[in-house]
Structure 1
Amino acid sequence: MLDTDKKKVSISVKTNQADKKQAAEIFESLGLNLSTAINIFIKKSIAEGGLPFEVKDPFYSEANQAELSRRFKKIANNQNIQTHQLLTDDEQ
């Protein structure tokens, strides 16, 4: 390992206060501080060659897509379609 590999550098991460507090409490319960937990995340990301967990949008879940498909079929076949009044920005 080169000497430059041993030198520690600082990184700055922006998050909201509530998330920082909640994360710090979780890591503290595991015997870690934020810095150590972030370093674990970085090392694991390097080892995995990407994020060490799956990132997904629940919109694209199999169940949601099946429901959307079912509804689109109903619309295409003009089955049991109910109209409704959309909310305006003032009513939300």
Structure 2
Amino acid sequence: MAKTATLFTRIEPDTKEHAEAILSALGISASSAITMFYKQIILHNGLPFELKLAKRPLDMGELSADQLNAELEKGYRQIQEGKGIPASIAFENLRKKYDF
């Protein structure tokens, strides 16, 4: 048997439980998944996925007139289809998500 090393880490319990349930359904242990992740880090010489900042809300000041009209039309169609939410809830969601 190959030599092994011990890895100690802290993770949110819900995240751990959710991930382990998925791994279990796949027939993979958490230890095997972590080993696979580490091997992918080595193969990629970095993380095996792209890291980027979350997309900020649309900045209307950066849109062309045609792009602005298209966004307004899209919003109008959503309202007609009953897919809208009250502005107070939308702004509260934005404040929570982007901390402003």
TM range (shorter): 0.5 to 0.7
- Partner of 2:81 in structure 1? none
Runs of 5+ consecutive residues of structure 1 not aligned to the other structure: 1-5, 74-86, 88-92
Normalization by structure 1: what TM-score?
0.59
Task: Give the match's secondary structure for 1:42.
Answer: helix
- Partner of 1:71 in structure 2? 61
Comparing both structures, which one devotes a greater share of its residues to helix? Answer: 2
- Partner of 2:51 in structure 1? 55
Percent identity over the alignment is 29
Who wins on radius of gyration, i.e. which is larger?
1
Query: Where in structure 1 do 4 or more consecutive aligned residues deviate above 4 Å?
Result: none
Q: Distance in 1 between matches of 2:16 and 2:26?
A: 15
Question: Which of these residues, 40, 58, 82, is aligned with residue 44 of structure 1?
Answer: 40
Question: Which of these residues, 1, 11, 30, is aligned with residue 34 of structure 1?
Answer: 30
Q: Distance in 2 between matches of 1:14 and 1:8?
A: 20
Normalization by structure 2: what TM-score?
0.55
In the alignment, residue 61 of structure 2 is paired with which amino acid?
R
In the alignment, residue 46 of structure 2 is paired with which amino acid?
G
